[in-house]
Structure 1
Amino acid sequence: MGLDDRIARVEQARWGLPAIVAVALAVRLALALALPQQPISDGLWYMDHAAEMARGLGYQEAGYVTAFWPVGYPAVLAAAMSLLGPTLSAAILLNLIATAAIVLLIVRIGAQLGLDGLATRIAAALYALYPAHIVYAGQPVSETVATAVAMAAFALLIGARGRRWGSLAAGLLFGIATLMRPQMMFFPAGMLVAMALTLRDFGWRGALRAALPLYLALAAVVTPWSLRNAAELGAAVPVSTNGGIALYYGANDRATGDWYAWERTPVWDATGVGIPYKQHIVEQVELDRRFKALAVDWIKRNPGRWTALGFRKMALLWERDSDAFWALDIGYPALATPIAAVRVFNQLCYFAILALGLSALGVALPALWRRERLAPLLMLACMPAFATLTAFAFTGQGRYHYPAMPFLFVAAGWTLAALLRWWAARSPAPLLRATAA
């Protein structure tokens, strides 16, 4: 059997996609059971406060109403805990459901943008077996669930092509994504511009038709939470009160572009914000305002330094993909060597995905000017570009590129499928069969 025959079998096999989903779920569940990861940092906070929400205590901290962190993921986790109890099982179940959704959405989005069955199945398989994302499935963090919601909104908006009800449905999901990641409220605007530039059957009229219902639906999801914040906190807080801190994190004399220890340390008091860390919930609105003012003032006084730091943040964002292994490092020091080996292997895989994905986008770029067949592939750059721009303003922590990775897997799948078809075409097997016929 020649390579072209094997390619045809992969494309036509009905078991292909279910098998990929099954493998993705199996490897994640196996790791979660074999090496249970204790919640740390953000994950520990999510577990504690989702459990409180599940018990009917509301979204609060130490008895004070809060909006310090976005409510979306804790609320979803609380719903899972109401079924399974306040255990890590609830978070793992959510991650497994989100994983299955991401695999299916990789195939769906790829097909919407013109990829064939071979390319989309390769992309799905790459995601299913990618080590860092396998590790994330055992942690109570928002990355996997938030990415699944954003991808579903992306697929709905692409499929709607400006139609009202599809745009409304996409807006509802983008609203949920915004409650998990506040910056997501800006993503649909950029996506609509990209659709107008790359999709021949959409254009600027389609973008205008889709924008109003989309943002009305997004606002319908977010506004109730904003009204709650206004009533409870006495201030206009659309989603969360940590935006000022996040901005300051990447705009001060100590900023490196990456994470550095400052909370619960003397560094916090040295910022000059004038509010001790232990009061960060009680004074969260004022803290947000003061940190934002400090950051803006620093940017105004140091525009060149901030710009250079912004480019450093963008580079740091894509430098590595190892944050998923933190919990394993802490929980299993005796396995330091094999975990380090997996981390190195993952980094090699990561660089390969970047190279293959960027190759696809590079091939598609010339088609943009004439909106040729490959131009829709450039839609896959929307999330990577958005993550990169967000890093410029805030910080370049590697985990922040997680939402962009499934789109790069799709682009990498296109490149690998093209290479396989090229190799099959130059193989002597098709020629021999044609001669025999």
Structure 2
Amino acid sequence: MTTKTNRSSPADMQVNTSQRLVSLDALRGFDMFWIIGGEHLIHALAELTGWPVMIWLSAQMHHTVWNGCTFYDMIFPLFLFISGVSLPYSLGKKMGLSGVDYAYQLPATVKRQILKANLRRMLILVFLGMVVNGLFKFNGYENTRFASVLGRIGIAWFFAGLIHLHFSLRKQLVWFFVILTGYWLAMSFIPVPGFGAGDMSMEGSLESYIDRLLLPGRLHSKVHDPEGILSTIPAVATGLLGIFTGVFVRSKTFDPLKSVYFMLMAALALMVAGLLWDGIFPINKRLWTSSFVLFVGGWSLAFFAVFYLIIDVAGWKRWTFPFILIGTNSILIYLAVEGMIGFDHTAQFFLGGLIRLVPDRFEELLKIVSVILVELLGLYFLYKNKIFLKV
């Protein structure tokens, strides 16, 4: 990664949106940082300092039990949103589209080629998700969990891309609203045996009932799976929100600062819409409710707008390097921390002796820092040698 300057004056703020956005890799890395050790770092700092702000941040590093939303609930949909933003750029790079061209205008033969590649990516992500769930432990079909985070990303991204390839922007917006409205109506008015219609509990919701009825193998929570069948449909809308954002930024309709302004206003509108819908369809990550899509979609758009402003518009890039290391190999580091590599043992092997020399109250914090350092060193080695896991 080369940076011509670390800072640009407002008059010089121009973005070449035909190239890869540095802010996308940085935001993806920021998002994954909390998965690979950031959450434990916050917990340790809260325990060590006892500061109210750290205690509040620590509480944000847990999933909400059911209804509601914390920062940690936003990590998964933010990643899916980022995948959506990157799609118009990857298509433009592969197909030579300019900022004002649209994917649905591509020839049918080209679309089939793209869909074949996207289908391959989806199937690989579904498979890798099952590997993370313990596929190779061979615990039997009934004990295998087929639904997964990576699987949902692959499926939702594929169908969002399918809509993007075959419909105009106006029709894509129609799809977006139909998906969210249709999911709300289904969850609210289709009765579940023994519970009736409109039950939004873990056991009584339509989403959970369909998972128990149709999803093979083991469910994450016995009666419910947060990455289940029905709730993957509104996740497609999350991917579409990212695609809309990517198309908007890449089109260069407005100058960069005005684009940031419009994105922040749209983000605020999405958050407000989600909060209003929350009154009748609760914000709930496990059900991936329509209100959750809007509320967290607003936050995702706001995060992207801020990163885009600071990094791609203002040119402040040097601070992003640790996040770039994570973001450019995000799937690989996710697979690694989910059990494929024991970073804690590696960190203990190299730094355990030094950690034992410090006072006991700092030991947990330094253990976490050492794990993150080992992860970043490994990612740096891969980055310098241009080794990236591309799916």
When the two structures are superposed, what TM-score results if normalisation uses the length of structure 1? 0.26
Higher relative contact order (CA 8 A, sep 6+): 2
When the two structures are superposed, what TM-score results if normalisation uses the length of structure 2? 0.29
Computing the radius of gyration from Cα coordinates, the structure with the larger value is 1
Structure number with higher helix proportion: 1
